[in-house]
Amino acid sequence: MEAAIIGIGMTTIEKSKIGATYADLVWEAVNKALNDAGIGIEDIDNVITTSSDFWDGRTISCMAVGDASGVRYKNCSAVEGDGTFGAAYALARTLSGDYNTTLVTAHSKGSESISSIITNAAFDPIYQRSFGLDMISASAMQARAYMHATGTTAEQLALVSCKNHKNAKDNPYAQLPMDITVEDVLNSEMIADPLHKLDCSPVSDGCCAIIIANADFVKKLNVKPVWIKGVAFCADAYFMGDRDLSKARALEEAAKKAYTMAGITNPQKEIDIAEVYDAFTYQELMWIEGLGLAEYGKAGTMLEKGMFNKDGRLPVNPSGGLLSGHPVIAAGLYRIAEVVLQLRGQAGERQVNARRGVAQGVNGLCGQSHCVWVLDKDK
């Protein structure tokens, strides 16, 4: 695949960025991405904005960031959902041959609404919404299904939280860097059994932008491109009752396709770093397995052995992940941006030794759909 990521821009992830509108966040992230690529807005051929009307409290919210992303008189399209899906659309546009460069933005300000009410609205109104579940309580059902099927323990879940909050101490963009113990997690408030407060990601504000370019455009630049080797997404059934919640079948399918595109036959050996969508502790373990980076049900044990630590065989979320800051919608694009920094060797204190990495985004309740990106330092 002849396309690369040539620039990334992230705002810091914070509990409440009260001084900025979400368009201000997009402005900041886009300008950082342009500076990172060493180009100007005039070099951007088309734009994909990623947002959610419910989170933004405004219909056609994608258009509200038009000025901030420089879309005037340009082809701009929008994706509702996670930023990785917006980036997949951007990649397709770049590869179409019609555009040299595509800018992708993804933003949200969780601080401006009530996340429980927003995520309750993801449920079907005829059969399900009236029970009052939200993202946390729905995920709690999945956590239990996964733990029941695999024997993964509450202590192993807690260890994910300890690892990621500790990793966040090396990430200047993270919202919740901290040293905590397994006991701290298990003693934190039980919000929805089996998920404690410290098993859950926080509500956050943030914006991420990336720029994708074709190989011809990359040649003109004086930057380190990160090459896109494989991208795939896959969806499962909408109703949770129509799925086996203990398994991430859609992720397995997406990962297989992305690895095939990238020529990867043994991801456990060939992937050096993973940034996965750890909205909840159990999800990091489930997604590691769904990505083929551990056998089903074995990620908890591998975590205990330190294999996913920053200095382990396969560092997972050296950024601190979403547990350390979760701007919904932007979350998956941050995962891509973090892998880009790692592969360029520009990840600062959180740098690991990596040539090839995988980033993952999720859309929908309990991982209904997944988007997998395989990125490489070399063409």
Partner 1 sequence: MEDIFNGIEPQVYKSQISVPYQWWAGETASKFFITLRDEKKILGKQCPQCGKVFCPPKKTCTYCYVETNEWKEVGPKGKVLTYTIVYRQLASLKKKVPVACGLIQLEGSDNAMLHYIEEIEPEKITTGMQVEAVFADEKSASIHAISHFRPVK
User: What residue ranges bind partner 1 (CB under 8 A)?
Assistant: 18-20, 57, 114, 116-117, 119-120, 125-128, 130-134, 136-137, 140-142, 144-145, 148, 189-195, 237, 239-242, 245-246
Provide the minimum distance between the beta carbon of 366 and partner 1 in the complex, in angstroms, as a whole number.
Answer: 10
Provide the minimum distance between the beta carbon of 3 and partner 1 in the complex, in angstroms, as a whole number.
Answer: 33
- 3-class SS at 4? strand
The 8-class DSSP code of residue 271 comes to -
Provide the minimum distance between the beta carbon of 245 and partner 1 in the complex, in angstroms, as a whole number.
Answer: 6
Contact assessment for residue 202 and residue 328, using Cβ atoms and an 8 Å cutoff: no
Provide the minimum distance between the beta carbon of 54 and partner 1 in the complex, in angstroms, as a whole number.
Answer: 9
Spatial distance between the Cα atoms of 368 and 231, rounded to a whole number of angstroms: 17
CA distances from 346 to 28, 72, 261, 272, 342 (A): 20, 33, 26, 15, 6
| Locus of tokens 């695949």 | 1
**Which of residues 140 and 323 has its CB atom nearest to partner 1 in the complex?**
140
Cis peptide before 194 (omega within 30 of 0): yes
- 3-class SS at 349? helix
Provide the minimum distance between the beta carbon of 243 and partner 1 in the complex, in angstroms, as a whole number.
Answer: 9
**Which of residues 20 and 23 has its CB atom nearest to partner 1 in the complex?**
20
Where is 372: in which H helix or E strand?
strand 369-376
Spatial distance between the Cα atoms of 304 and 310, rounded to a whole number of angstroms: 13
Tell me the residue length of the chain. 379
CA distances from 170 to 159, 163, 198, 346 (A): 18, 12, 19, 13
**Which of residues 135 and 316 has its CB atom nearest to partner 1 in the complex?**
135
**Which of residues 60 and 117 has its CB atom nearest to partner 1 in the complex?**
117
Provide the minimum distance between the beta carbon of 233 and partner 1 in the complex, in angstroms, as a whole number.
Answer: 18
Provide the minimum distance between the beta carbon of 19 and partner 1 in the complex, in angstroms, as a whole number.
Answer: 5
**Which of residues 60 and 114 has its CB atom nearest to partner 1 in the complex?**
114
**Which of residues 141 and 343 has its CB atom nearest to partner 1 in the complex?**
141
**Which of residues 186 and 191 has its CB atom nearest to partner 1 in the complex?**
191
Spatial distance between the Cα atoms of 101 and 45, rounded to a whole number of angstroms: 5
Provide the minimum distance between the beta carbon of 77 and partner 1 in the complex, in angstroms, as a whole number.
Answer: 25
**Which of residues 118 and 291 has its CB atom nearest to partner 1 in the complex?**
118
Alpha-carbon torsion angle 342, 294, 119, 329, nearest 10 = 20
Contact assessment for residue 314 and residue 272, using Cβ atoms and an 8 Å cutoff: yes
